[in-house]
Chain A
Amino acid sequence: MSKAILYDSTLCIGCKACEGACAERWGLPYDDKIAAEEKISAHKLTAIETHGEHFSRRLCMNCQQPACASVCPVGALQKTALGPVVYDADKCMGCRYCMQACPFQVPSYEWDKRLPRMRKCDMCSERQSQGKITACSEACPVAATITGDRDQLIAEAHRRLAEKPDSYYQKVYGIAEVGGTSVFYLSAVPFEQIGLRTGVPHEPLPETTWRVLELVPDVVSTGSVLLGGIWWITNRRAEVAKKEGRR
């Protein structure tokens, strides 16, 4: 049973308690100055954004079929059965393909360190594996962010849309996007107005490259036979020509 997060922008009061809890969980510094930064970065893995009178929250979407995990050449990123997409910094060689591939521009890099790592939210993987909810959900005073089973949260989101049709833009962000994510958004206004990327494809991104990659064995085997065959024919022709020339 995989876990997920539901963030309801209509409930969020912008208190940033989630930011503080997240910083504490990762052992990152957190003060007023960092709180004022409205973007995620290597030292701030979740951020509350203000869009007019609405709030929004940025964090890793922990996609069902994550582009970052599919592109990582060393398998440093993995989608766990529990839901989180986890990162093993000891494997990472710093090619930053995950950052390029992420349709939500989530992974951040420790640009100024000499031995840098990628940083991103992992939905409190180790807390969740102990049966606890995420630090941000625990800290939220108004339950704008809640953690639960993915299926149940989808049902809950739809229930809210049906219950208060006037309060919500009638869609759940994260169900169709890139084939589904583990973080869902509800909003009073269309999602692009709270800074979410609505142009992302609805197809899981790993398929775009896999369609080509899966041809590799065919190309290699067919290519060897073809090139070997061509060499055999042309070489024979040259040998014959040489012999006939001698005669």
Chain B
Amino acid sequence: MERRFPKITVWRVIFAAIMLSGAYATYLRIRYGLGGSTNLSDQFPWGLWIGFDVMCGVALAAGGFTLVAIVHIFNIEQYKPVLRPAILTAFLGYSLVVVGLLFDLGRPDRLWHPLVMWNPHSVMFEVAWCVTLYSTVLFLEFLPMVFEKFGWHKPLEWIHRISVPLMILGVLLSTLHQSSLGTLFLIVPEKLYGLWYTPILPLLFYISAIAAGLAMTIFESWHSSRAFGRALELPLLASLGRVLAVVMSVYLWIRFLDLGHRGAFSLLRQNRMETWLFALEIGLAVVPTVLLYQAAVRLRPGALYACAVMVVFSFIANRLNVGTTGLEAGSGTHYIPKWSEIAVTLSIVAAGFAIFHFIAHYFPVFEAHSHEPAPARAEESEEDPVAV
């Protein structure tokens, strides 16, 4: 692929434009502080960088722990071919979250402070520790790909020896971290709009992160099969789609019950921005869920991919609603991100795609399918254990 470097394609031009605007926005951030590079205010201290870069970045990485749990702890080996891409996504996702934090923190040079100055009553403290520890775990889970590439057998053995406790630790840290991003917003009952504020936010964040992680796994496989001319593991992805449908159903049902129990359905009668954003978010979740129950949809790559994309977008809408738009009315202000906030966000996403592509190209991420997933295998996935 490196032979084609000088060739100019539409995507490369777009990529370069995004990165250039991101570089200029970064200059503004460093030179003029948060005031010169964001539309944040005393009334609205968190914006796109927290709502998208951090909250979505973390959960789009959830495929990593979900698949580690499926393959190594529940020992469902058939999903192994998509395990490594999922771990790579998670590792990149977390690294990019840290990059996003460096932009957003007022004092990025003090990123390490929570590790030394403790306040166990703070959710943010828990988040900081989870990010640190889980990034380390993901790095260790990613290392075997590097060791294999260079044929270092000794370190490979060491890693394998600690792999089981490492994986269990990773799953636990993810569980804590994904849910604690929801817990963050429990402190603002009077600010967050009633369609989103619920005492079970941590649970909802956890389940939706699993769904987003699975959707991202399908999304990546589809893209990488096109980029690298690989055959698509369709039966495998189709059965992952089945799991996704179940997880989404559980999620939507809990949200429905929660809205009912809190008497929040009456809010839907109001014609205001929040109602429409909520409708968008739920619509984008319901449509793919219903579709994924059809075998014909799951077995058509394009349709399966479209469903995964809808799930991801529904999820992003949810995080942005909880993290930004749902807080506007309660904060008595409006927030529209500045161009530089958007430019940095797009650059981070674009960098993520590029690095993924690079690593997937040079390292053994997509394994050679020694044990080909026979179509019959897909039927076995009837009792998928993920929707716990």
Query: Which residues between 117 and 159 of chain B lie within 8 Å of chain A, taking CB atoms?
Result: 117-128
- Is A159 located at the chain interface by the 8 A CB criterion? no
Known: A75-B118, A220-B176, A231-B168. A109 touches B125 (CB 8 A): no
Chain B residues within 8 Å of A, Cβ to Cβ? 30-36, 40-43, 45-46, 69, 72-75, 77, 104-108, 110-111, 113-114, 117-128, 164, 168, 171-172, 175-176, 179-180, 183-184, 186-191, 199, 202, 327, 331-332
How many residues of chain A have a CB within 8 Å of chain B?
58
Query: Which residues between 35 and 93 of chain A lie within 8 Å of chain B, taking CB atoms?
Result: 40-42, 67, 70-76, 91-93
A residues less than 8 Å from B114 (CB atoms): 73-74, 93
A residues less than 8 Å from B124 (CB atoms): 71-73, 95, 97
Interface centre among B190, B327, B331 (most CB of A within 10 A): B190
B106:A93 contact, CB within 8 angstroms: yes
B residues less than 8 Å from A223 (CB atoms): 168, 171-172, 175
Known: A201-B189, A234-B73. A75 touches B41 (CB 8 A): no
13 A/B residue pairs, CB under 8 Å, sorted by A: A71-B187, A74-B125, A75-B118, A95-B105, A109-B40, A112-B36, A114-B30, A116-B107, A197-B190, A208-B186, A209-B123, A227-B73, A227-B172
Given contacts A72-B119, A73-B128, A208-B187, 17 further A-B contacts (CB under 8 A): A67-B187, A73-B122, A74-B125, A93-B107, A96-B46, A105-B332, A113-B35, A116-B107, A209-B187, A210-B121, A212-B123, A212-B180, A212-B186, A227-B168, A231-B73, A234-B73, A237-B75
Known: A96-B45, A108-B42, A213-B121. A230 touches B73 (CB 8 A): yes
B105:A93 contact, CB within 8 angstroms: yes
Smallest Cβ-Cβ distance to A234: which chain B residue: B75
A134 CA to B106 CA in the complex, in Å?
30
B residues less than 8 Å from A97 (CB atoms): 122, 124, 184
A231:B75 contact, CB within 8 angstroms: yes
B176:A216 contact, CB within 8 angstroms: yes
Point out the residue from B36, B111, B179 that lies within 8 Å of A93, measured CB to CB. Answer: B111
Q: Mark A216-229, 1 if CB is under 8 A from B, else 0.
A: 10011001100110
